[in-house]
Amino acid sequence: MRTTVGIIGGGPSGLLLARLLHNAGIDSVVLESRDRSYVEQRQRAGILEQATVDVLRSAGAGARLDREGLVHDGIELRYDGRAHRVDFPSLADGRRVWVYAQTEVVKDLIALQLAEGGPLFFGAEVQAVDGADTERPVIRYTHDGREQTLTCDYVVGCDGFHGVARNAVPEHVRTTYERTYPYSWLGILAEAPPVHDELIYAHSERGFALASMRSPQVSRLYLQVPNGTDPADWSDERIWDELDARFALDADPEWRLKRGPVTAKSVLPMRSSVTEPMRYGRVFLAGDAAHIVPPTGAKGLNLAAADVIVLARAFEHLRSTGSTEQLDTYSDTCLRRVWRAEHFSYFMTTTLHTDPEQSGFDTRLQLSQLDRIATSPHAAAELAENYTGLPLA
């Protein structure tokens, strides 16, 4: 088999790239190792930036998002027993964010791809990419128990943090910058109405907590827990009690979350990682295959979308002008945005979580920073601009 653009991975970045290329009349093949229902059910991101929503709409994937997505104009920061709202549109040039789960984005893109797009194979596990620095790179994969090859003009690795495409960049060319954190998140889904109409990010001496949502009936909640925590050690009641303790408000001692049946529970480690460059020869890396952020800034999915927007434009430019100029600057263009999002995610994470080794001094610095955001429009605007997404390059 052969194609113009071979895409490894059918997560949000691979599926969105395939859709953008299809709309531009460029053919592609998507190879995804998992089955369709696994990819559609994987619980992950919840927040879409304005630019991500705009591209989904213009790509023809915005209909259900416009019906079911929840528009949010701000977030609440809770610290030291107090609540402070950060208003996005007034601080960030009218931009806002949408609550629309990654599971739903993926379902919408898969349905479109199968109905109108090029081939999308599930259960197709890629082993390696050969000849990254040649004119015809070849993807080797297994499908239906048989070893197969896909010959491409270009290959894009959209295969996430544990993917294989990164290995196509030789070790002497590749540098990975990494940071781990001394805590994880325990995440739950609950059949309980969200307690508030916007997300609440809480700093507390007991650790970070986040109240998010999936719909007016379903809450998504997170608690900072030690690395290596077994979710089985956290009964539903213990989770709700701990959440209530971390969100406690001095001015409203009766404030409680609305409780309901917990339908999913899992522990997620946190990591920051960037691999440079995001391109070698005719192989490009996009999304989590090239970079990971801790989820506190809600940036991962949006960065993945930003990468493939830049890449799809570069392929269109090549097709209409014959120039590889935009493909040649892809890595530098994306890395500028990636490092900004890395910094913001690191900032949100380290400002809101309690490091098990942190001193009283460190806690005072965090509270002082949160107070600065609450009292200075400049500090609040810095948060709002980054959270809602900096304009695309």
* Footprint (CB under 6 A) of ligand RFL, residues 152-191: 158-160, 163-164, 187
Find the helix packing angle between 360-375 and 325-352, rounded to 10°. Answer: 110
CA distances from 12 to 129, 181, 280 (A): 21, 25, 22
Which among ligand RFL, ligand PHB, none contacts residue 125 (Cβ within 5 to 8 A by kind)?
ligand RFL
CA distances from 200 to 73, 154, 181 (A): 13, 43, 22
Minimum distance from residue 90 beta carbon to ligand PHB (Å) = 21
CB atoms within 10 A of CB 223: 24
* Footprint (CB under 6 A) of ligand RFL, residues 67-126: 102, 125-126
To the query of whether residue 72 is one of the catalytic residues in this protein, the response is: yes
Catalytic residue (one of 203, 291, 299, 353): 299
**225 is a contact residue toward ligand PHB (CB under 6 A):** no
CA distances from 236 to 56, 186, 265 (A): 36, 12, 9
CB of 105 or CB of 169, closer to ligand PHB: 105
User: Segment near ligand RFL (CB under 6 A), from 38-46, 54-62, 189-197, 339-347?
Assistant: 38-46
Which among ligand RFL, ligand PHB, none contacts residue 31 (Cβ within 5 to 8 A by kind)?
ligand RFL
To the query of whether residue 181 is one of the catalytic residues in this protein, the response is: no
**Pick from 161, 159, 125: nearest CA to 140:** 125
Which among ligand PHB, ligand RFL, none contacts residue 207 (Cβ within 5 to 8 A by kind)?
none
Minimum distance from residue 134 beta carbon to ligand PHB (Å) = 40
Count the site residues for ligand RFL by CB under 6 A. Answer: 35
Q: Which residues contact 286 (CB under 8 A, 6 or more apart)?
A: 13, 14, 17, 156, 157, 158, 278, 304, 307, 308, 311, 334
Phi and psi at residue 5, in whole multiples of 5°?
A: -120, 115
To the query of whether residue 353 is one of the catalytic residues in this protein, the response is: no
Residue ranges in the chain assigned as alpha helix (H): 12-23, 36-41, 50-58, 63-68, 88-91, 102-116, 236-246, 300-321, 325-352, 360-375, 377-388
**270 is a contact residue toward ligand RFL (CB under 6 A):** no
To the query of whether residue 38 is one of the catalytic residues in this protein, the response is: no
Report the C-alpha gap between 275 and 281 in whole angstroms. 15
SS3 of 89-106: the string is HHHCCCCCEEECCHHHHH
* Footprint (CB under 6 A) of ligand PHB, residues 274-333: 295-296, 298
* Footprint (CB under 6 A) of ligand RFL, residues 303-332: 304
The site map against ligand PHB for 180-219 (x = CB under 6 A) is -------------------x------------x-------
Reading the block at residue 311, the tokens are: 């890449």
CB of 249 or CB of 264, closer to ligand RFL: 264
Phi and psi at residue 172, in whole multiples of 5°?
A: -75, -10
User: Segment near ligand PHB (CB under 6 A), from 44-52, 63-71, 103-111, 326-334?
Assistant: 44-52
SS3 of 4-51: the string is EEEEECCCHHHHHHHHHHHHCCCCEEEECCCCHHHHHHCCCCCEEEHH
Which among ligand PHB, ligand RFL, none contacts residue 220 (Cβ within 5 to 8 A by kind)?
ligand PHB
To the query of whether residue 137 is one of the catalytic residues in this protein, the response is: no
Interface with ligand RFL by CB under 6 A: which residues? 8-14, 31-34, 39, 44-47, 102, 125-126, 158-160, 163-164, 187, 268, 287-288, 295, 298-302, 304
Interface with ligand PHB by CB under 6 A: which residues? 45-47, 199, 212, 220, 295-296, 298
Which positions are catalytic?
A: 72, 201, 295, 299, 387
